Structure 1
């Protein structure tokens, strides 16, 4: 076994020790900042995902897998190569099960009071974005601290509905999820069931997030918390969503359906955004509707994303506004 990689893994793990009581799903290697240039390793319970964003360590793949196996005794390790030979980022990345079987790639993880399904072979995203963990946990805490029996939460570009699971566990009466993918919303329903949550009317909307917000405006719906976490680009029924062009107008529209006393979290992984400018623009858009709005925080990725912002594959701008 290559003790160099074993020692690097142990060192990386020690940096994340504070998360062990919170979750068993975390990033244990975040590229060069952990001594592994071009490579990230994510832990999903007993399953591990390796993603190569550059060629630097591809020739050492076997040695790194051996070090992973010796240190963690994983049920499954999946390797994904996210960069083509021409240097172009791949969304349909080649995947290789290097430990275990394809069936072993499916399981559940724990995050605070919640559990989530994951599938390491379901495209490049296993079902849970690890860099939003700290915000999901805060959403649950905020709903737990609110008073009222009819609290409503809106999760736009909801993916597998993990924000909504936390909102419901915190006491939200209804957590509405909007996403263009029926398959993804079905995975959200599975996450509800995994956490013992019943499905309530109005909680799942298949369609464009902008379309849902405009519908909610017409219906006079109001929400006590909103999360807007869009992809940089998305296409639905001929409409091309571009985060640079369409995000801030959507933020302003969302503000019109946000109750006073509520909160609004907006985030993006678009690498060209600057955190301070992003937070300022979000506050300005919300303040056009709620003049007394204030920024509660602005931040990037959590402690397991060491060196966040230093590479395009590890970047996040996020801000939370209270009204």
Structure 2
């Protein structure tokens, strides 16, 4: 892999955020300078940063460095560069940005002219042709920085400032730049708060910049996904396949993230501003996801009951020197403070101002202040604590109520509509037939969660599961030979068709993207928002979460397995290893197990398992939950002579968890694991062993002393009949002749 050196620039106050973005994108070889950060990486790294940075201004790739004390030296140095490797001589366009710092050539326009002349003259002498100058979106933008008479010549990969996202169709007086809005939100920890279900309110939203940037952060939408122009798109060394793959991955993450949107609300006293905000929201593809009202500031307290218990109020009030009378602004700050204290006490707030002294009129507790520039105006952002922070329980209850309210307000218009292809109509037809048949079967069998489609058509490779009135979509990774943009078009079609065919709001269709991502992206996108709801299965209830984890909390293919296990549990001691969310434990408890023990390494899943028991009113001291490495725990249980009648063993295919020593591989380690279970099982006990590794082979020779019954087909539900390798399952006992 070829590496290059790059320089990324940003505005005052944003450098720490820029450094954090680089780390999160997996770029570690960095060096910080005044106003910029240099890093070494691949061209794909630079493209990814252009696409995903929320605070950067430009991404530059230096290609030459030379002394330039005189105009002649500058001309000669630029002319010596092999520009034919970067730009076509005929029919192409270029632009030059020139900046000087403590150098003899001080006039930037003159410097830019000398650079342009040198490039044009080289082309003319070589081919008789020359590119033309185009200041707006040229094929190649060249950046020259002259510092202490040393010239650094760079290709501007961003092409134009990255704060231009492409969604601003209309603007109001004194609009906030997009990267500044993002920086304020990131500094307020909005990325984390939004994942916890906090809401966001901008009561003076103007053209909606805060609202849109907040939505893009919360939904894991790349800020550059709507841009049609970057500086590398017409560059001769452009890596088109890498860029197409990055855009396709970003589009998948956008689809997945839209189902995790918290409540984002804004308003403005000016009807023109509200219209501008709605237009920009639609251009960003977020219509229906953000609510905007024509409303006076003092009317917001009456709407507080419709907002989450916890949230972030963020706003850009008028500045005295632009659109407000400075001596009247203290009333505005006083009003914001009153709204928080009286109506939104669980909310934090962030206010950008050119006069920090005005912040005192809010009466709120300041916990941080960060200097940022709003264009030419030096400003500060004031961050205030919540007056009365709400508890986790209050947040969770409020988030559930708000989610239901928000979902009811959203419909299929909240996703961009595309023309359905002939293949798309075939997919819709297949999905509709499957749904008609399986919905009838599910009602008859008292099941509210089932698989309705599993890559029936190769072009639409996804598993689609119904969870009551929600839908969970898992896209299978497309083969590398498939054009990533074509695969993304198919995904977009699919996500438009599913709500229509299955008659659910688009906001209740969750897409799960299972793929390796750089740095911490995957974990950031899938950190918990606690957006869970209860579903029914065979008269039992289970909490599921379609958005926040890699799995939903309920493995649908094990529906019959759970029943089969439960049939053996009445009056017995039941052990659930690698218990996950305890669905098998719930079945065993409901069947009258004398005791249940659930073992897992994750506190999150063990808490979830306890909640599932509580949901079914099955809690009690006979149900035990143990956080431990199952392999180590089995050794301890044997030493302590613990015994069980029924054991359910459904280990992961592979695990290298930080809480485990070494690496677990079910193919390599299953024999030892099974024998460890047998040693703590009573003489007439039963072990149910299952795995979803598709190429798994049970080592029958190593287990020949045991009675083994392959029950894989018997545990395959009707909605998984087309995928017989979804799991393998065996019933094992000690007595070979039993």
**Same-fold status (TM-score > 0.5):** yes
Do the aligned residues in 2 keep the contact of 1:8 with 1:35 (CA within 8 Å)?
no
**Aligned CA distance change for structure 1 residues 57 and 8 (closer, same or farther; 3 Å):** farther
- Gaps (5+ residues) in structure 1? 96-101
Matches within 5 A, 1:166-181: 166-181=587-602
CA–CA separation in structure 2 for the residues paired with 1:70 and 1:57: 21
Query: 1:142 aligned to 558, 568, 576, which one?
Result: 568
* Higher relative contact order (CA closer than 8 Å, sequence separation 6+): 1
Question: How many pairs are equivalent?
Answer: 294
Query: 1:295 aligned to 692, 702, 709, which one?
Result: 709
Cα offset, 1:83, TM superposition: 4.0
**Aligned CA distance change for structure 1 residues 125 and 294 (closer, same or farther; 3 Å):** closer
Query: 2:723 aligned to 288, 301, 308, which one?
Result: 308
Cα offset, 1:143, TM superposition: 2.2
**Higher mean displacement: 223-232 or 7-16:** 7-16
Cα offset, 1:79, TM superposition: 1.2
Cα offset, 1:245, TM superposition: 2.1
Query: 2:498 aligned to 54, 68, 74, which one?
Result: 68
What residue is the counterpart of 1:233 in the other structure? 654
Do the aligned residues in 2 keep the contact of 1:93 with 1:124 (CA within 8 Å)?
no
What residue is the counterpart of 2:468 in the other structure? 45
CA–CA separation in structure 1 for the residues paired with 2:588 and 2:615: 15
Query: 1:9 aligned to 413, 428, 431, which one?
Result: 431
What residue is the counterpart of 1:117 in the other structure? 543
Higher strand share: 1
**Aligned CA distance change for structure 1 residues 280 and 22 (closer, same or farther; 3 Å):** farther
3-state secondary structure, aligned to 1:154: strand
What residue is the counterpart of 1:203 in the other structure? 624
Query: 1:266 aligned to 660, 674, 689, which one?
Result: 689
CA deviation profile, 1:77-106 (whole Å, cap 9, x unmatched): 1112224699xxx976967xxxxxx78x52
**Aligned CA distance change for structure 1 residues 93 and 132 (closer, same or farther; 3 Å):** farther
What residue is the counterpart of 1:77 in the other structure? 509
Cα offset, 1:319, TM superposition: 1.2
CA–CA separation in structure 1 for the residues paired with 2:691 and 2:541: 24
1:321 aligns with 2:735: no
What's the Cα RMSD here?
A: 2.8
3-state secondary structure, aligned to 1:203: strand
CA–CA separation in structure 2 for the residues paired with 1:12 and 1:255: 42
**Higher mean displacement: 41-50 or 135-144:** 135-144
What residue is the counterpart of 2:352 in the other structure? none
Query: 1:130 aligned to 540, 556, 563, which one?
Result: 556
Do the aligned residues in 2 keep the contact of 1:233 with 1:243 (CA within 8 Å)?
yes
Name the larger-Rg structure: 2
Do the aligned residues in 1 keep the contact of 2:596 with 2:622 (CA within 8 Å)?
no
**Aligned CA distance change for structure 1 residues 316 and 108 (closer, same or farther; 3 Å):** same
- Gaps (5+ residues) in structure 2? 1-419, 479-485
1:256 aligns with 2:679: yes
Q: TM-score, normalised by structure 2?
A: 0.37
CA–CA separation in structure 1 for the residues paired with 2:708 and 2:661: 36
What residue is the counterpart of 1:99 in the other structure? none
3-state secondary structure, aligned to 2:567: helix
Do the aligned residues in 2 keep the contact of 1:233 with 1:242 (CA within 8 Å)?
yes
CA deviation profile, 1:46-87 (whole Å, cap 9, x unmatched): 11111111347531334333332223332511112224699x
Q: TM-score, normalised by structure 1?
A: 0.80
What residue is the counterpart of 2:451 in the other structure? 27
**Aligned CA distance change for structure 1 residues 239 and 92 (closer, same or farther; 3 Å):** same
Cα offset, 1:301, TM superposition: 4.2
